[in-house]
């Protein structure tokens, strides 16, 4: 049985970490999209890369888990 005093603290830490992950993923996707404008495979094509897709997926999972 868990200590009930620890539970709200654990939830707060979990929510903060999930928000940090969502923000970091959004910043990373935005930076990848904007950073290569005018370069080869930049702009909308950047969303075809696995790294960007996984950032979006992880952000969505954390956002859903935060609700």
Structural domain of 58: 11-66
Alpha helices in the chain (DSSP H): 6-35, 50-66
Q: How many domains in the chain?
A: 1
In a domain, 1, yes or no: no
Q: What is the pTM of this model?
A: 0.74
Which residues, at least 6 apart from 21, have a Cβ–Cβ distance to it below 8 Å? Answer: 58, 59, 62
* pLDDT for res 45: 76
Mean pLDDT for each 10-residue chunk of the chain (67 residues)? 71 91 90 74 73 87 88
In a domain, 47, yes or no: yes
């Amino acid at each position: 049985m868990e200590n009930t005093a620890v539970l709200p603290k654990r939830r707060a830490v979990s929510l903060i970490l999930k928000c940090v992950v969502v923000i970091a993923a959004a910043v990373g996707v935005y930076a990848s999209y904007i950073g290569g404008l005018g370069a080869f495979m930049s702009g909308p094509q950047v969303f075809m890369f696995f790294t960007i897709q996984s950032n979006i997926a992880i952000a969505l999972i954390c956002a859903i888990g935060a609700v």
